[in-house]
Amino acid sequence: MSYNFFVKSDIEFGRGAAEKLPEVIKANGIKNVMVIYDQGVKAAGISEKVLDQVKKADVNVTVFDKVLPNPSNELVEEAAVIAKEANVDGFVAVGGGSSIDLAKAVNVLMTNPGKIGEYGGMNMVKNPVHPLIAIPTTAGTSSEITNVVALIDTEKVIKYVIIDNKLTPSHVIADPEFTKTMPASVTAATGMDAITHAVESYISNMATPMTEYNSLKGLNILYNNIRTAVHNGSDMDAREQMMLGCVITGFGFSNANLGLVHGIAHTLSAHFGLAHGMANATVLPYVMEFNAESCPEKMVELAKDIDLPLTGNMDEDKYALANALKDLTKDLGIKTLSEQGIQEKDFDMLAEDVLKEPVLGFNPRQNITKEQVIEILKKAF
């Protein structure tokens, strides 16, 4: 049996990596670059540092700094108009998943006709896109190395994805120095997002030996460093390890896909604007508890990967990971659904929409019912 494992990005990793940006821009022959980031990146002084490096490449610079969490179709279209007017032929995306996803989506519209909503699904992008240099400022989404864009369709009130290998950034500059300004709450939420990617991709029914290797290695690095990164944000060794774990995990999940945790998180973000990482973290332990029935051996392997104590009894050990994740989310201050403003009266509507999520097709436990989703939401409440 054969399987495909796709890796594209040219990665410059480590402290001081940002100094390579002018060289990368020149190597790609970019003349008119759009730099995309949000106001948080600007307030942290990161955008100024990146723009200083961009200017060394002697290019025309257009800035789009209106990125919002969970970017919408409308925001993509707005940025695309500006990019086309400036004849942009390359992008530098600075920030978390929202900034990088927005840049990916705008890049699609530079060389492909129509509206961005027309490209939802898999392999819908027909024409090659421009060079995109991704500079992550969080260690969580892995958007810098994946072939996925997640957007909000405000008319349909859904969070949908575009999956196409053409979307993967051509270059990544992963400099952990840019993560040290993240507050503890963001470090926790984005770090738990990465852990979710590792766990869900490992148990995905699309997993292969190559994706499983990356998922396990990524989880080990992330789990053993997230507490230090959250509780002592000045520890740059822990910050660097979190970024490394995020990249490694990204190789796994971009090939194996994800599951029910992301199905629930997408729905929570679409209806209530919950930050993606926080939404994942809130429900992760309870989805893993639910999935344990379908993949007990893999649950035990995940537990062994992070050296959890086991009894040798499969019926007990298959829940070891879920229980450890409950302790971890509590230790990191991850908010419950009620603390994030979700009400029990919303559960029925949310559960119905969760069942429409395509990502559920990759979940190890199938034939999920609305009642089962509601039970998970109640546990996370």
**32-82 pLDDT, tens digit each:** 999 999 999 999 999 999 999 999 999 999 999 999 999 999 999 999 999
SS3 206: coil
Task: Compute the half-sphere exposure of residue 68: CA atoms within 13 Å on the CB side of its CA.
Answer: 14
Vertex 6, ends 245 and 137: CA angle to 5°? 35
Give per-residue pLDDT as tens, 119-162.
999 999 999 999 999 999 999 989 999 999 999 999 999 999 99
pLDDT surpasses 90 at 344: yes
In tens, the pLDDT along 201-234 reads 999 999 999 999 999 999 999 999 999 999 999 9
Mean per-residue pLDDT for 101-110? 98
Distance (Å, whole) CA 244 – CA 256: 19
Distances (CA, A) of 271 to 7, 32, 207, 330, 337: 33, 37, 30, 25, 13
Alpha-carbon distance of 327 to 331, in angstroms, equals 6
What's the pLDDT band for 189 if we cut at 50, 70, 90?
very high
Per-residue confidence (pLDDT) for residue 221, from 0 to 100: 98
Give the pLDDT of residue 78: 98
Listing DSSP states for 30-80 in one string gives: -SEEEEEEEHHHHHTTHHHHHHHHHHTT--EEEEEEEE-SS-BHHHHHHHH
Per-chain mean pLDDT for the chain: 96
Tell me, what amino acid is at 37? Y
**Is residue 1's pLDDT more than 90?**
no
Q: What is the pLDDT of residue 7?
A: 86
Distance CA 257, CA 255 (A): 6
The percentage of the chain sitting over the pLDDT mark of 70, rounded to a whole number, equals: 100
Q: What whole-number distance in Å separates Cα of residue 116 and Cα of residue 131?
A: 18
- Cβ atoms of residues 201 and 258 within 8 Å: yes
| Amino acid, res. 159 | K
Tell me the one-letter amino acid at 21.
L
Beta strands in 74-191, from DSSP E residues, in sequence order: 90-95, 121-122, 132-136, 148-153, 158-163, 171-174
| pLDDT for residue 9 | 80
Instruction: Report d(CA 177, CA 45) in Å as an integer.
Output: 12
Residues in the chain: 381
Global pTM reads 0.93
Instruction: Report, as an integer, the average pLDDT of 173-189.
Output: 94
Q: Could you give the residue range(s) of every CATH 3.40.50.1970 domain in the chain? A: 10-179
Question: Is 3.40.30.10 the CATH classification of the domain at 10-179?
Answer: no
Max alpha carbon distance in the chain (Å)?
Answer: 64
Sheet of strand 158-163, all strands in order from the earlier edge strand to the far edge: 121-122, 158-163, 148-153
pLDDT score at 8: 86
| Mean pLDDT computed over 165-193 | 95
Query: pLDDT tens-digit profile of 265-323?
Result: 999 999 999 999 999 999 999 999 999 999 999 999 999 999 999 999 999 999 999 99
- 38 near 50, Cβ under 8 Å? no
Fold of 184-379: Dehydroquinate synthase-like, alpha domain (1.20.1090)
